[in-house]
Amino acid sequence: MSASRRRLAAFRHEGGFTLIELLVVVVLVGITSAMFADTFSAVVNRSSQVQDQNILQTEVRAGLNTLVSDLRDASFGDTTVPILSYGANSISFYSPDRLQPMHMRRVTYSVVGTSSDWFLRRQVTKSTNTNGPPWTGIAADTGPVSTLFDSVQNPTSIFKYCTQVPRDMALDTINNPTSPELITWACTAPTTAANVKTVVVKVGVASNPSSTTYYYGAVATVRWNAS
């Protein structure tokens, strides 16, 4: 009996948590969990934004490389001016493909879209004949259209045209990728398509409305010469 009494007495003197202490712990755990959830959500969202921006940057670089390559090959195969039309947000020109037998292409780059999403598209119409003028089937833009990249932030003016080649122009480069004036050329604007020697591209993109706008530039020298 004495042993049983001692065990009962020991049980009566064991410590524990009061209800108030438990409530305080529950509140603190809830606050900590909420803070962790907000932090985790912010990290996930930021990581997603960075990933989206990296994908968009890759698409922009690839698209501008394609545009520059097409422009450098601009030609009609004779003394015809290869540039059909040019403006602040579109350009259309003739450029042969690299296949055998060779087709002539009518290539048009333009910024299209809505107030919420602008994108740069490329339309290529191939001639129905090969290997030399007179070319047929390219009197109008009727070929397939592809989107090079979207999320364009300055849709009204991405192209600039110069009558000089780059070595004859003053260049001021601003090394800030978020500056809308990434590339500034001091050049003379052409009055006709035949006078276009250099095409400067400057485009700003952002993966979503809350992201920073990054600007990318490219320069293409039109190699065509009437002589």
Give 117: exposed, middle or buried? Use CB within 10 Å, 0-12, 13-18, 19+: exposed
Residue ranges per domain, the chain?
50-221
User: How many angstroms separate the CA atoms of 205 and 196, rounded?
Assistant: 26
Task: Check residue 144 and give its pLDDT.
Answer: 96
Please list the pLDDT of the chain residue by residue as tens digits (227 residues): 566 666 555 555 555 667 777 777 777 777 777 766 666 566 556 566 667 778 888 999 999 999 999 999 999 988 899 999 999 999 999 999 988 899 999 999 999 998 778 999 999 999 999 988 899 999 999 999 999 999 998 788 899 999 988 777 665 555 555 555 555 567 889 999 999 999 999 898 988 877 888 888 888 999 887 55
pLDDT, position 77: 83
Whether residue 224 contacts residue 74, with contact meaning beta carbons closer than 8 Å, is answered with yes
How far apart are the C-alpha atoms of 164 and 190, rounded to whole Å?
9
pTM of the model: 0.76
What local confidence, expressed as pLDDT, does residue 79 receive?
87
Q: Residue 214, SS3?
A: strand
Instruction: Please tell me the predicted confidence (pLDDT) of residue 188.
Output: 86
pLDDT of the residue at 16: 61
Q: Please name the helix (run of DSSP H) or strand (run of DSSP E) that holds residue 94, with its range, or none.
A: strand 90-96
